[in-house]
């Protein structure tokens, strides 16, 4: 298994710096990660750093709470697309979802239409830490009906991140056409492998280098667990 092809090397710290973005991109190139995920403010720098590589550029929209009005999210999407984003992770408005507001689906549809016009990828972050199993099932169905490409577990800012039981539930509900991105608190090879086995197609992690070094040691020692 080419574990690096699952990983979106992520940096979303509120105090991240220019040099850290450069380092993130250099590491992504070195290890061959699928992509890097940075806030839209840093897209131009990351785009320059990744020029000439196959590393995808990922950013977040409505981050981290999803409370923004739809028009604000659409403006963020426009900015991100104009600055080179290949994949956009949009935070669901959980407050509206839990209030039973029907326009939540309409918002996702509008985001999907704008992103797909540019032939880019939409992931919706549903923040599983705050959802019951029934709510998770409902929101996965809503996302698929709205045309998303991936459903993503977490922002990494909630009390818990990616959980195996949530990924298993999501994979059971979603069709094969919709991917799953597990993110939040993923720091070890064992977590990555378990989440992939549960149904994750992508892994969002700030510990990508740590994970790959551990993985290489596992293979070197002849105990590949894949």
Which residues are known to be catalytic? 89, 152, 181
Please name the residue that has the structure tokens 């020692």: 221
Residue with tokens 């709510």: 135
Q: What are 65's two structure tokens?
A: 């709470």
Q: Which residues of 171-207 are buried (b: 16+ CB within 10 A; e: fewer)?
A: bebbeeebbbbbbbbbeebebbbbbbebbbbbbbbbb
Nearest partner of 120 among 155, 90, 162, 154, judged by Cα: 90
d(CA 39, CA 174): 27
Strand partners, 188: none
Burial classification of residue 217, based on how many CB atoms lie within 10 Å of its CB (0-12 exposed, 13-18 middle, 19 or more buried): exposed
């Amino acid at each position: 298994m080419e574990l690096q092809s699952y990983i979106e090397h992520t940096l979303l710290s509120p105090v991240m710096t220019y040099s850290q973005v450069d380092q993130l991109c250099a590491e992504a190139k070195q290890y061959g990660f699928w992509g890097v995920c940075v806030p839209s403010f840093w897209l131009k720098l990351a785009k320059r750093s990744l020029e000439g590589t196959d590393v995808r550029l990922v950013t977040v929209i409505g981050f981290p709470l999803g409370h923004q009005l739809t028009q604000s999210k659409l403006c963020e999407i426009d900015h991100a697309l104009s600055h080179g984003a290949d994949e956009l992770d949009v935070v669901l408005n959980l407050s509206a979802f839990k209030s039973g507001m029907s326009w939540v689906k309409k918002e996702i549809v509008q985001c999907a239409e704008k992103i797909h016009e540019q032939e880019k990828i939409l992931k919706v972050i549903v923040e599983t830490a705050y959802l019951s199993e029934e709510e998770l099932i409902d929101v996965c169905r809503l996302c698929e009906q709205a045309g998303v490409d991936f459903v993503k577990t977490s922002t990494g800012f909630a009390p818990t991140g990616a959980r195996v039981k949530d990924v298993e539930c999501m994979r059971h509900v979603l069709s094969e056409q919709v991917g799953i991105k597990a993110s939040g608190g993923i720091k070890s090879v064992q977590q990555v492998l378990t989440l992939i086995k549960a149904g994750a197609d992508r892994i969002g992690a700030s510990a990508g280098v740590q994970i790959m070094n551990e993985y290489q040691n596992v293979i070197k020692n002849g105990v590949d667990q894949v």
